Structure 1
């Protein structure tokens, strides 16, 4: 089962939290559409700047977009000018897609720094994709990226998979490299998963990354285990 489902989605509500946090049964489809376009806009703009994840939080008349990145200086800009420019662009984008043109929403942008980028799957996947686009040998990219990821003490295991016309070959194939353990079936296992695409002249190369960071034991999980007994 875990081989056919996103490891992050599989652990939602157990050890992972939702990337969009709000509740509105009547406006669900409209808020979902707005979140999708806002998140896609930010991702396309900053995907090569160490972007890890984008969280969206809503309240009555406030919308907060939190951007987690390993290179916050590139987004913030000189004197915070980058954040103000991004906020203005997001406000224009939001005004164009929101369902109620008269509704006023206070849109805020927060930039959060990622201290250990090599232990986050999304950043590693994008770095691998960038190197593949530069036509570096894919086997060397696999070995170097895996070794760099495993240097972090919190990483217990990792796996990187490439698929497509690797090296410009006529027939597409799958190559992967992994080390350590990745318990996909264990819900309390902190498995970070991400995908990225490398756009080459001979086609698109898909990149998938799994990073295992040990097991998570929190109070909610302990209560669930006690109730099960």
Structure 2
């Protein structure tokens, strides 16, 4: 969320949470990663980051117009909805976590789901990935935590470009939590970048 609020901070925050929850439910099949909310005066701008923009926009923009009308009625303000496409969903931690959660719901073996997700992410150029999974794995009597890591995931390096994602899977045995951390490389300032030597 991008806004400043004085007295009505709590009310506005809850409104944001309601908007996010509502959009996540409405766009369940659209692979939505993040929802950014910006407030200026009496207007609301909602930016939806999705891997499937066609589902969000709909035929000739019908779906996005419907969402805009519903959100305007819900909050009583002018709402603008922008859609931004995620080019490589396999490198988005939230989408990877939700993908694993959906596989667990379909009773896919958790080890197979983890290894497949990790392998795909690493193939597409991530420098490292770590997946934590917790709950009654495989229908076990006692809940436990398992994790799988490939590459490097430096959580204490400030300049590391780290992406976090979390999802829950409502399996027949109970809720299983999935946490994904992807390391995409280091963000270097111009001063830190190595100088390229001239060829001569």
- Do the aligned partners of 1:191 and 1:213 also contact (CA within 8 Å) in 2? yes
| SS at structure 2 position matched to 1:55 | strand
| Matching of residue 56 in structure 1 with residue 27 in structure 2 | no
- Could you say which residue in structure 1 is the equivalent of 2:156? 185
Q: How many residues are paired up?
A: 192
Q: How does 1:59-78 map to 2 (within 5 A)?
A: 59-78=40-59
- Do the aligned partners of 1:159 and 1:176 also contact (CA within 8 Å) in 2? yes
- Could you say which residue in structure 2 is the equivalent of 1:147? 119
- Could you say which residue in structure 1 is the equivalent of 2:198? none
Deviation at 1:140, TM superposition (A): 0.6
- Could you say which residue in structure 2 is the equivalent of 1:11? none
| SS at structure 2 position matched to 1:177 | strand
Q: How does 1:117-136 map to 2 (within 5 A)?
A: 117-136=89-108
| Matching of residue 92 in structure 1 with residue 63 in structure 2 | no
- Could you say which residue in structure 2 is the equivalent of 1:226? none
| SS at structure 2 position matched to 1:44 | helix
Q: Any unmatched runs of 5+ in structure 1?
A: 1-19, 96-104, 223-229
Deviation at 1:130, TM superposition (A): 0.5
| Matching of residue 138 in structure 1 with residue 119 in structure 2 | no
TM-score normalised by structure 2 residue count: 0.91
> Per-residue CA shift, 1:57-116, capped at 9, x if unaligned?
111121100000000111111111010111112122213xxxxxxxxx321111110000
Q: Any unmatched runs of 5+ in structure 2?
A: 193-200
Deviation at 1:44, TM superposition (A): 2.3
- More contact order relative to length (CA 8 Å, sep ≥ 6): 1
The whole-number CA distance in structure 1 between the counterparts of 2:20 and 2:165 is 15
The CA RMSD measured in Å over matched residues stands at 1.6
| Matching of residue 113 in structure 1 with residue 94 in structure 2 | no
Deviation at 1:50, TM superposition (A): 1.1
- Do the aligned partners of 2:100 and 2:117 also contact (CA within 8 Å) in 1? yes
User: Which of the residues 177, 184, 187 maps onto 1:213?
Assistant: 184
